[in-house]
Amino acid sequence: MRLAAEHAALCDRIGHRFARPDLLREALTHASTATPMRPDNQRLEFLGDRVLGLVIAEALHGADAQAREGTLARRYNALVRKETCADVARAVDLGAALRLGRSEMLSGGRRKEAILADALEAVIAAVYLDAGFDAARALVLRLWAARIALGDDDTRDPKTALQEWAQARGQAPPVYAETARDGPDHAPLFTVEVRIDSGESASAQAGSKRQAEQSAAAMLLERMQTAND
CA dist 30 and 74 (Å) reads 30
Do 99 and 28 form a contact (C-beta atoms < 8 A)? yes
Going by the DSSP 8-state scheme, the letter that residue 97 receives in this structure is: G
Do 195 and 201 form a contact (C-beta atoms < 8 A)? yes
From the candidates 26, 40, 45, 49, give the one annotated as an active-site residue.
49
Q: How far is CA 184 from CA 2, 37, 62, 190, 207, in A?
A: 33, 33, 45, 11, 11
Do 139 and 128 form a contact (C-beta atoms < 8 A)? no
From the candidates 87, 113, 121, 213, give the one annotated as an active-site residue.
121
Do 68 and 144 form a contact (C-beta atoms < 8 A)? no
> Catalytic annotation on 121?
yes
User: What is the distance of C-alpha 138 from the center of its chain?
Assistant: 14
Do 18 and 11 form a contact (C-beta atoms < 8 A)? yes
Do 108 and 206 form a contact (C-beta atoms < 8 A)? no
CA dist 116 and 205 (Å) reads 13
CA neighbor of 16 nearest in space, from 95, 129, 100? 129
> Catalytic annotation on 49?
yes
Q: Which residues are catalytic?
A: 49, 121
